[in-house]
Amino acid sequence: MSLLRHTLVACAVGLTAVTAMSTTAQAQASPTRIIAINPFLPLVGSFQAEFEKKLQDNLSVAVSASHIALRGDDSDRFTNADVKLRLYPAERGLEGFGIAAGVGVGHQSTVTYLDCLAANEPCRDTRATRIGPTFSVEMQYQWLLGKNKNTAVSAGGGAKRYFISNTSTTSFNEFMPTLRLTVGYAFR
């Protein structure tokens, strides 16, 4: 009987140790940072990139930058840098549904008119620009894929408000919808 008891105790201790090591390995393997880009925007001369760091199971902070040239003629350009605080209500940190609010700085540039007065010279565009603070909100869903959850894919949308006074006669957008589609690398 004593041998059976020692065997059962040894099995229980071994099972507990294996379970603890497995849980520790899973906790250590969970990514805490993501660096991501939109892979399609460079094809049209624009970019979007973001670095996100998990602060808690339900909270992260992200730093993002983007440059978007609307229309094929590059007449409207938007360049932004933001800091975002992102809440993950399911508390799975960096994974699942997220809601973010961000502040930053935005730069808008638009062509006001084409100068085609010189007879033998090409037309030149004249640009009007504005720079000022921004506020944004967004909702997204982020997947961490692969055995080690090292591939991050996110999709979402939101809105950005530019707080820039308009003293010129040029029409600038004060409110813009935003879209998010990024692929990135998640790491510890």
Residue range 54-67, pLDDT digits in tens = 999 999 999 999 99
Q: Are 173 and 159 in contact (CB under 8 A)?
A: no
- Do 19 and 39 belong to one domain? no
- Do 102 and 121 belong to one domain? yes
Q: Are 164 and 174 in contact (CB under 8 A)?
A: yes
- Do 114 and 23 belong to one domain? no
**pTM, whole model, 2 decimals?**
0.77
Of residues 36 and 72, more confidence is placed in: 36
Rounded Cα distance between 145 and 31, Å, is 11
Q: Are 46 and 36 in contact (CB under 8 A)?
A: no
The CATH number that applies at residue 150 is 2.40.160
- Do 73 and 103 belong to one domain? yes
- Do 139 and 172 belong to one domain? yes
Residue with tokens 């565009």: 125
| Domain extent for 84 | 32-187
Residue range 70-87, pLDDT digits in tens = 765 667 889 999 999 999
The secondary structure of the chain in percent helix, strand, coil, rounded to multiples of 5, reads 15, 55, 25
- Do 68 and 118 belong to one domain? yes
DSSP string, 103-134: EEEEEEEEEEEEE--STTS--EEEEEEEEEEE
- Do 26 and 62 belong to one domain? no
pLDDT average, residue stretch 2-21: 47
Per-residue pLDDT band at 25 (split at 50, 70, 90): very low
- Do 39 and 1 belong to one domain? no
- Do 88 and 173 belong to one domain? yes
- Do 8 and 55 belong to one domain? no
- Do 85 and 9 belong to one domain? no
Residues 6+ apart with CB under 8 A from 168: 128
- Do 58 and 72 belong to one domain? yes
Of residues 173 and 29, more confidence is placed in: 173
What total number of domains does the chain contain?
2
